[in-house]
Structure 1
């Protein structure tokens, strides 16, 4: 029976220093034991914005599924999986989703990955004038199915407030979206700190070759046996 690890990725801090936010993630470290035809149904059953199936721990090869489709690249699944592999004694220097090699590193309480903007979904970027306008939204701007909405909290300090809506991928609103952070950071061309969802925090900085490093904190939620039900 495969083991399911549930994590929260890009965990932020509240005003008292306690954890807040973080995007739930399911990870099967022995995902290669789960038949390919079962992976999409499992991801749909779990209902997380993404579920990871690690096919080979030493090489970092893995696959990423939303409830409705497979993704070649996604930020919070890769940050979370890099952290989990290190915790389990399988630390790697790179992960290998279908998009390509993704360098990873840990520093203090943070885990970082490097991705390319063109690997991320083609999010629409909609800038608003204030964080309050972002908070008041009840859904994506009309007519948009993959939208990141954002506003400066403090432009001088590089602080951004954002929300991301991707209903076409089966995710009405994503709590913390690393792939969008990659796109937005590349678009702005500067280091930023993004507060997304209810309080998740994503750090992002552009690199000279056009790629972007993103990072954040990861916390374990639970570990349990997962029965692959008959479908």
Structure 2
């Protein structure tokens, strides 16, 4: 079996919650995309990263069913693990930095897959949402404190081919897919771009994501990362 690390990314203040991420530090042990996709499906995490050059930060990202040019959770987690100033993804070069307990990456929001950003009037409405039927990938959100930039959010993948399995850590997990994604950095970047301001997002059962717009259309997303094994 290929060696891999398991991280939890975008954890809450107490170190819980967040999404599990698999990282194969030595991608040379499995160079073929088909083999990587098969391993990602077997592991069943939201995403699995293969590190092709640890010094330069060259990475390859897979869900259980798809190869992704970019994703926030894998970039934040791998940047923390490798402690590098940048990552090279299929989408482009992602800046990375450490700031106390938070790891940040800088990317272009348009690298994120399309998401439906759906605003609700109150956090209670977001909390009370039932899982929608398959269809749109929905990022439901409401202001907890608009002046402070605090947001309550939940993410519903909707499409079966973008879901992991029950090991992905999402609420409402079921065999073959997750109904709700606990922590999604790409969607947070899209919301940041739409609102044009820094955000402190409480997502899912207790994950925390911080974001900030940057010059020339870039944006940062940051969070806590813990090594599970």
The TM-score, its normalising length taken from structure 1, stands at 0.88
Given the alignment of the two structures, is residue 29 of structure 1 paired with residue 25 of structure 2, yes or no? yes
The aligned residue for residue 71 of structure 1 is 68
Could you report, residue by residue, the CA deviation over 1:118-144 in whole angstroms, capped at 9, with x for unpaired residues? 10011011001111111112213x574
Select the residue among 105, 113, 119 that pairs with 2:105.
113
Select the residue among 75, 92, 95 that pairs with 2:87.
95
How far apart are 1:2 and its partner, in Å? 2.9
Aligned to 1:3, the other structure's residue is in SS state coil
4+ runs deviating over 2 angstroms:
142-145
Unaligned runs of 5+ in 2: 165-178
The aligned residue for residue 170 of structure 1 is 163
More strand by share: 1
Q: How many residues matched?
A: 212
Given the alignment of the two structures, is residue 128 of structure 1 paired with residue 120 of structure 2, yes or no? yes
How far apart are 1:164 and its partner, in Å? 1.1
What CA distance in whole angstroms lies between the structure 1 residues aligned with 2:107 and 2:188?
10
Select the residue among 181, 184, 187 that pairs with 2:191.
184
The TM-score, its normalising length taken from structure 2, stands at 0.89
**What's the RMSD between the two structures over aligned residues?**
1.3
The aligned residue for residue 176 of structure 2 is none
What CA distance in whole angstroms lies between the structure 2 residues aligned with 1:33 and 1:166?
31
What CA distance in whole angstroms lies between the structure 2 residues aligned with 1:213 and 1:144?
28
How far apart are 1:186 and its partner, in Å? 0.5
Contact 2:135 2:158 in 1 (8 A): no
Contact 2:126 2:152 in 1 (8 A): yes
